Structure 1
Amino acid sequence: MPIIIDSMVASTTSLRLNILILTTLLILGAAAWYAAHHLTGRDGIDWQAAEAPCDLNRGPCSATLADGSRLRFAIDGDKPIHALTPLRLHVESDAGDIRRVRVDFEGVGMEMGLHRFPLEQTAEGQFAGPAQVGICTEEVMPWRARVRIETSQGWQGAWFDFTAVRGV
């Protein structure tokens, strides 16, 4: 006996299946975009590494930003750098039209939360402000300082690795 399929039922089922496939693809696309832009730390900044040699426990370090301007970064305070000890951050740059400068500390190899320090302008192209490295269970903890500079052209940045010790 032949099976008779109502064409209206088949058409509705096909439409529902197409909508389900399209919805699934849109959700997967949104999840991929989110992962690429948020979970991997992509923030639109073309990050530049510090120039070698760089040891913030010994003195200032330099980097060349994406636009070719220079940046100098220093952490003032007791050396070696100690966790939970007041520090003073200094940034100098010849980038034009600097609107804001901030420094983010992030743990390297261990999630340590967000430690963000906005700096105030002290002179033309010079910025400074207080900071503090968070405490860790490790005796010596590797950290990364991400220096962000906002100009009329957008954000630029350089990163500087350093270590901090737990005890005083």
Structure 2
Amino acid sequence: MKQAKWMVATLLVLGVLTYLWGRAPDKLTTDTPVSGSLNEVPAPADCELKGEGCEIAIDGLGSFLVRLPETVVPLEKVVFRVVPQGEAAKAVGEIRVDFEMVGMDMGINAYRLDRLADGSYREAVILPVCTTDRSDWRANLSIHSTAGAYLVRLPFSVDRSRPRGD
């Protein structure tokens, strides 16, 4: 009985991944062309990516407000937002995010964010499910601009033990 449940769960996950790959393969690529070096910027110590979000300051480029919704449920779409502040919006060419689970290989979870008319960037993302109730993640945010390419690693947690809507 347990084997049948695991097989059904595995087939369901593979089906979802196949569906996602077929609908938006350009959003799931990791081929980020970078000319020059990728400058790593430390994440703010008090960064709360979920909920209010956090502001990231990049010397020579400006600041960005980055956020996920307060509640992130695996296998459900959530919107990841990046809002360049002030003059930073003029210099940004492309923004991508790659989600990685700390201490676990969860496959490729990379997205290119769409630029909206107001200058902000957003994308609906889906995190894979993990068998543990709580999982620690990093959103590896890459910002490509006229001033260079920057990488910020933003930690956050997903807690599946909480009821939905909290």
Fold shared per TM-score above 0.5: yes
In the TM superposition, 1:122-141 aligns within 5 A as 122-141=116-135
| Structure 1 segments of 4+ aligned residues over 6 angstroms from their partners | none
Give the corresponding residue for 2:41.
48
Report the TM-score, using the length of structure 2 for normalisation.
Answer: 0.66
- 1:49 Cα deviation (Å)? 2.7
Give the corresponding residue for 1:85.
76
Identity of aligned residues (%): 24
1:117 has 2:111 as partner: yes
Deviations 1:102-128, CA, capped at 9 Å, x for gaps = 111011121222201111111354111
> Any conservation in 2 of the 1:62–1:73 contact (CA below 8 Å)?
yes
> Any conservation in 2 of the 1:47–1:66 contact (CA below 8 Å)?
no
- Distance in structure 2 (CA, Å) of the matches to 1:50 and 1:123: 27
1:154 has 2:148 as partner: yes
1:164 has 2:134 as partner: no
Please, which moves more after superposition, 44-53 or 154-163?
Answer: 44-53
Bigger Rg, which one: 1
- How has the CA–CA distance of structure 1 residues 109 and 67 changed in structure 2, closer, same or farther, with 3 Å as cutoff? farther
- 1:131 Cα deviation (Å)? 0.4
1:100 has 2:91 as partner: no
Q: CA RMSD in A?
A: 2.1
Q: Which runs of 5+ in 1 are unaligned?
A: 1-42
- Distance in structure 2 (CA, Å) of the matches to 1:155 and 1:140: 32
Please, which moves more after superposition, 124-133 or 47-56?
Answer: 47-56
- 1:66 Cα deviation (Å)? 4.5
Count of equivalent residues: 124
